[in-house]
């Protein structure tokens, strides 16, 4: 009995590891909650001030919400059940099923939100006419599709998981009563199919987003003149406007690339752990296999939660405007101006800078003050001419 109890205790993390993981999880949880909550607020502020389109804002809010739910649902339960009491009695059977369902649904909502955002940006950049023809409801439909599909992926876990006990026997006497929130032996095939199907979807999303980013980069590398071709009768966009749109799209592709990279690196250990659990029934696990699984569990879950914490930092890394507003929200002091007001101020500043050489040239003229008056007269003539042109343009045509 003593040897059997010692064996299970050896599989538990050491006390120093438990303390370290508690501190690490607490820091990650606080950072993730603050980062994703501020991300939602920053997205709304940028949309209200004209810096973000509504569809991009909706995708960012949905992605941040799924990350928040992953952290809030998973980390406290993980800290208690996997770190401090890995072989203790679990809570009820119903709560075990609900936890597995919600955690799986929110986890795959994250990666599906990345897929839908990538798809919408891909259509907007590579097929702009088709993008406009889709209408304004496409974003809501894509986000709804991501959440519904993630729930369908998690649905089998309501049946295939639950609380199941393990009682080691020695000399026909029970040694230690262990109960786990795990996959049920009687629904092993369903659990296995669910895990492998989720892994296939994970790989499909990563490969698809990588190909979409590659196609978007290829479009942006084309010469600017080839992108400005338009049907006769439709005015071409100005070159500086095309450059601004191009820069904004490059930021979007950079962000998508960073997100996919973090998902690939941070989710991979957790996917390996899940495949280990689904590859062999627990009744066939050897001692070395079980020990490796317990060790990998801590590392894999840490990297998995790290992906939800990193996303707000990737937003800040890929966009200077987002970084500035993010700091303003943290300081509870918003100083951002609407994009139209800022553009008017910049145009006025550029106009005053362009008039500077003209006024200086007049001041350097031989007439002294008369030269200044000449320059002022020229300036007034320009203003009056511009006002006259504006009035003529604003008159209704007959």
pLDDT in tens, 66-108: 999 999 999 998 888 778 877 665 567 888 899 999 999 999 9
Q: Are 317 and 351 within one domain? A: no
Rounded mean pLDDT, 314-336: 86
**C-alpha closest to that of 157 among 113, 206, 108, 200:** 108
Do 358 and 365 meet the contact criterion of CB atoms below 8 Å apart?
no
Phi and psi (nearest 5°) for 178?
-120, 135
Q: Is residue 126 part of a domain?
A: yes
Q: Are 152 and 53 within one domain? A: yes
Q: Is residue 58 part of a domain?
A: yes
Q: CB neighbours of 142 closer than 8 A, spacing ≥ 6?
A: 59, 116, 119, 120
pLDDT beyond 70 at 49: yes
**Which one is predicted more confidently, 175 or 302?**
302
Q: Are 306 and 365 within one domain? A: no
pLDDT beyond 80 at 255: no
Q: Is residue 335 part of a domain?
A: no
Do 175 and 4 meet the contact criterion of CB atoms below 8 Å apart?
yes
pLDDT beyond 80 at 155: yes
pLDDT beyond 70 at 370: no
Over the stretch 258-287, which tens digit does the pLDDT of each residue have? 888 888 889 999 999 999 988 888 778 777
Do 170 and 1 meet the contact criterion of CB atoms below 8 Å apart?
yes
Segment of 10-14, 70-74, 359-363 carrying the highest mean pLDDT: 70-74
Q: Are 176 and 282 within one domain? A: yes
Q: Are 183 and 47 within one domain? A: yes
Q: Are 37 and 181 within one domain? A: yes
Provide the token pair at 57: 């804002």
Helix (H) or strand (E) holding 10: helix 2-11
**Which one is predicted more confidently, 385 or 103?**
103
Q: How confident is the model at residue 13 (pLDDT cuts 50, 70, 90)?
A: confident
Q: Is residue 336 part of a domain?
A: no
Bridge partners of 163, per DSSP, are: 181
Q: Are 379 and 274 within one domain? A: no
Q: Are 280 and 365 within one domain? A: no
Number of folded domains that form the chain: 2
Q: Are 365 and 274 within one domain? A: no
Q: CB neighbours of 277 closer than 8 A, spacing ≥ 6?
A: 183, 195, 293
3-state secondary structure of 174: strand
Rounded mean pLDDT, 364-371: 38
Q: Is residue 119 part of a domain?
A: yes
Pure H helices in 280-338: 287-318, 320-330
Is the pTM of the predicted complex or chain greater than 0.95?
Answer: no
Residues in the chain: 398
Residue 279's CATH number: 1.20.1070.10
Q: Are 292 and 385 within one domain? A: no
Domain boundaries, position 367: 341-394
Neighbours of 41 (CB within 10 A): 17
Q: Are 243 and 359 within one domain? A: no
Q: Is residue 374 part of a domain?
A: yes
């Amino acid at each position: 009995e003593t040897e059997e109890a010692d064996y299970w205790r050896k599989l538990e993390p050491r006390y120093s590891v438990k303390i370290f993981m508690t501190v690490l999880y607490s820091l990650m949880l606080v950072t993730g909650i603050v980062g994703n909550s501020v991300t939602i607020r920053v997205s709304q502020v940028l949309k209200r001030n004209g810096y973000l389109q509504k569809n991009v804002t909706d995708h960012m809010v949905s992605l941040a919400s799924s990350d928040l739910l992953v952290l809030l649902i998973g980390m406290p339960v993980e800290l208690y059940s996997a770190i401090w009491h890995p072989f203790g009695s679990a809570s009820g059977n119903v709560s075990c099923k609900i936890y597995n369902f919600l955690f799986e649904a929110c986890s795959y909502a994250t990666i599906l939100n990345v897929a839908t955002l990538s798809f919408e940006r891909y259509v907007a950049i590579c097929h702009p006419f088709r993008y406009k023809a889709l209408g304004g409801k496409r974003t809501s439909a894509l986000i709804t599709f991501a959440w519904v599909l993630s729930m369908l992926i998690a649905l089998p876990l309501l049946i295939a998981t639950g609380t199941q006990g393990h009682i080691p026997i020695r000399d026909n006497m029970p040694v230690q009563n262990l109960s786990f929130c795990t996959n049920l032996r009687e629904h092993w095939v369903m659990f296995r199919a669910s895990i492998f199907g989720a892994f296939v979807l994970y790989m499909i999303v990563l490969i698809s987003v990588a190909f979409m980013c590659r196609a978007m980069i290829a479009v942006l590398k084309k010469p600017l003149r080839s992108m400005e071709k338009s049907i006769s009768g439709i005015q071409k966009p100005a070159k500086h406007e095309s450059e601004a749109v191009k820069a904004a799209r490059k930021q979007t592709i950079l962000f998508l690339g960073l997100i996919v990279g973090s998902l690939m690196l941070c989710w991979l250990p957790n996917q390996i752990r899940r495949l280990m659990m689904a590859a062999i029934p627990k009744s066939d696990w050897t001692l070395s296999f079980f020990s490796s699984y317990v060790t990998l569990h801590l590392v894999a879950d840490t990297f998995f939660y790290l992906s939800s914490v990193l996303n707000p930092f990737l937003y800040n890394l890929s966009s200077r405007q987002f970084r500035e507003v993010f700091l303003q929200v943290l300081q509870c002091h918003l100083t951002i101006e609407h994009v139209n007001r800022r553009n008017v101020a910049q145009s006025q500043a550029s106009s005053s800078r362009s008039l500077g050489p003209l006024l200086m040239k007049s001041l350097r003229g031989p007439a002294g003050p008369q030269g200044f008056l000449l320059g002022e007269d020229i300036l007034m003539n320009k203003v009056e001419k511009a006002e006259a042109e504006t009035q003529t343009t604003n008159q209704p045509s007959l």
